[in-house]
Structure 1
Amino acid sequence: MELGSTILTENALIERLKESIIAYDEEEARKVAEEIVAADIDPLRVIKEGISAGANVVSDKFESEEYYLPELMLAGEAMQAASDILMGGMSREKKEEMEVRTVGTAITATVFGDIHDIGKNILSMLLTVNGFKVIDLGRGIDSMEIVQRAREYKADIIALSALMTTTMPSQKEVIDILEAMEIRDEFIVMVGGGSTSLLWADEIGADGWAEIAPKAVELAKELIEKRRRG
């Protein structure tokens, strides 16, 4: 296959993946991701130009109230399915390349008592493709463990997700532990999740809040840059 034809094929596949995410079509997203892996297209490019670009469109549609929470969650499932396939097919060299381009280190976790992790997973993926080293602790993580891991990895950012109102206090608990240990200033703490708000973030003393993952990535970059400027 000629170079020009190959590039056109790659572009078409990436565009199909992007459109499948915008259309919150998980089945199509899986299918296209598998075709992309088979075609040996650079996964970092695919995540950035396909998944991340699709996520930004979904974000805009959510903000303009063209999409609501159900569409947002379905799009998230499509993103998660595609990224799992792409990451699974990624070579060791590409994974090492991602780790080298570090903007900062972020700990991500769904807080204790909460089993919902789609939003957190998408955030972890988008942070990674945007140059962050990400340590994804998973879901239902104890507050003290989050703090211990943040110290262990010398994290710049602790990003806490809570979908349920009953688990929101665990976000505050992490901040309370940091303050009690007199290490609060060592970390940027971001909160998010369907049950949270900017008012809640301000109330518990978080450094930032974002309603959806693409906005959280932009905020993370801003907060890192602000801290490094002093």
Structure 2
Amino acid sequence: MGRQGFGALVSDDQWTLFLRAGSTRKFADGEPIIRQGEREDVVHMLAEGTVKVTAVRPDGIEALLALRGPGEALGEMSALTGRARSATVAASGGPCTTRVLSGHQFRLLLHRQELHGALLEHLVLRQTEGESVRTEITVLPSGQRIAAALLRLAALTGTDVGAAPGGKRGVVLRLGLSQREIGDWVGLSRASVAAEFRRLRDCGVIRTGRQYIAVLDVDRLRRISEGDPPA
């Protein structure tokens, strides 16, 4: 799987410069990398693993905002603006490795490599992603929302297992997410997520187990996200 986020918008040589400039940090599954509300002038370049981004809402409930994979810059906005962290970022689905740069190092590399345009594009794409999820919550029924969420997770963390029975393409997702967190992400209750997973299992589109979801038919899941009924 290639780099994602900011790393997907720069060359291999430029990405290597960011990695070499930082020191290595390793985080266990579930361990926070960045904490909401803290002020710390560092940027983490995500080299390996997957992270989840969460924030505590005004009602005190922690909500899942996004998941990020290798190539992402984490905490870059605080390094650029000097503001407190707006969210918590933690390793998810297994350990992860980052390269940690000071805010000064990050800003200097952006300037020397003339990458402010790439950073702006990265921020716009993040904003567009968030708006897309909010639109799905507003207009799509629960089954389509879950299918769309699983497709996003497949693109982020999926391991392609080749052709499943019948020549269908399969993907395994290893997640550090509960059904409640997935529900928060797509605006559904835990019970609704469980019900939609059951429908997808019953029609042979997914198989679930502890900490993983196997998508047995990616093309069928995509059609469901576009409005086809599961069965």
User: Where is the strand percentage greater, Structure 1 or Structure 2?
Assistant: 2
TM normalised by structure 2 equals 0.28
More helix by share: 1
Provide the TM-score with structure 1 as the length reference.
0.28
Instruction: Pick 1 or 2: higher relative contact order, CA cutoff 8 A, min separation 6.
Output: 2
